[in-house]
């Protein structure tokens, strides 16, 4: 699967010219969903074709977020061999396995927080909500894979828990272009704001200039 400019992306780009992305870096965290070897690397259990296109934008966002002091949280699928999820899904991301590791292109740095998860949502029966609230976070930027499953589930729960949700469309990938378009439309109309890396970086740049 490759990233394409679909109808939603074209419409969203037009809207973004008139829509200003805004958030306070001091109360915002980056949630990186399932950027794991089983989904990106040759030999992985469920590899997304073209997924490597997400590396460069993630590198830029993570560098800017860390520079702004924003918490970086990795929401990583980590499953036991007998997990009931495998009744419906291919065996993947077994706890402690190579496939459950974050891709080498996106090193986890000291100070980052890893939240293991056993279901699609990073919030479901994990410590994510408590971890965010302890840090005074009220806004989350959700990135990673896949848009229509784990990203979407995490976005839903974030909205239900009253977080402001931002999803940069060029930092997420779905199982198909059609799924990407429909899911981003649903997120943007019901659960949060779909934006892009350029707009997020612009907010961080403005915050740096205001603080200098």
The residues carrying an active-site annotation are 34, 117, 150
Q: Which residues have a Cβ under 8 Å from the Cβ of 114 and sit 6 or more positions away?
A: 73, 74, 76, 108
Length of the chain: 212
Burial class (CB in 10 A: 0-12, 13-18, 19+), 97: middle
Q: What three-state secondary structure class fits 69?
A: coil
Question: Residue 20 and residue 32: Cα distance in Å, rounded?
Answer: 23
Q: Among 80, 46, 26, which Cα is nearest to 149's?
A: 46
Q: What angle, rounded to 10 degrees, do the helices at 55-67 and 197-211 form? A: 20
Q: Among 52, 143, 150, which Cα is nearest to 92's?
A: 150
Question: Residue 79 and residue 49: Cα distance in Å, rounded?
Answer: 23
Structure tokens at 162: 């009253």
Say if strands 172-173 and 139-145 run parallel, antiparallel, or are unpaired: parallel
């Amino acid at each position: 699967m490759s990233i394409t400019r679909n109808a939603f992306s074209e419409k969203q780009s037009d809207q973004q010219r008139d829509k200003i992305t805004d958030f306070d870096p001091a109360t915002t965290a980056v949630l990186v969903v399932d950027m794991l070897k089983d989904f990106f690397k040759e030999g992985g259990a469920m590899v997304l074709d073209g997924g490597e296109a997400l590396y460069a934008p993630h590198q830029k966002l993570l560098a800017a977020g860390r520079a702004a002091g924003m918490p970086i949280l990795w929401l990583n699928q980590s499953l036991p061999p007998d997990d009931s999820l495998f009744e419906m899904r291919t065996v993947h991301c077994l706890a402690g396995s190579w496939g459950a590791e974050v891709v080498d292109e996106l090193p986890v740095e000291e100070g980052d927080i890893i939240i293991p998860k056993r279901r699609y949502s990073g919030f479901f029966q994990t410590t994510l909500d408590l971890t965010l609230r302890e840090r005074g976070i009220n806004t989350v930027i959700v990135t990673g894979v896949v848009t229509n499953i784990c990203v979407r589930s995490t976005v839903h729960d974030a909205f239900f828990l009253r977080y402001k949700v931002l999803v940069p469309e060029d930092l997420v990938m779905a199982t198909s272009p059609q799924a990407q378009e429909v899911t981003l439309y649903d997120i943007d109309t019901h659960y949060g704001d779909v934006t892009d890396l350029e707009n997020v970086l612009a907010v961080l740049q403005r915050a740096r200039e205001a603080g200098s």
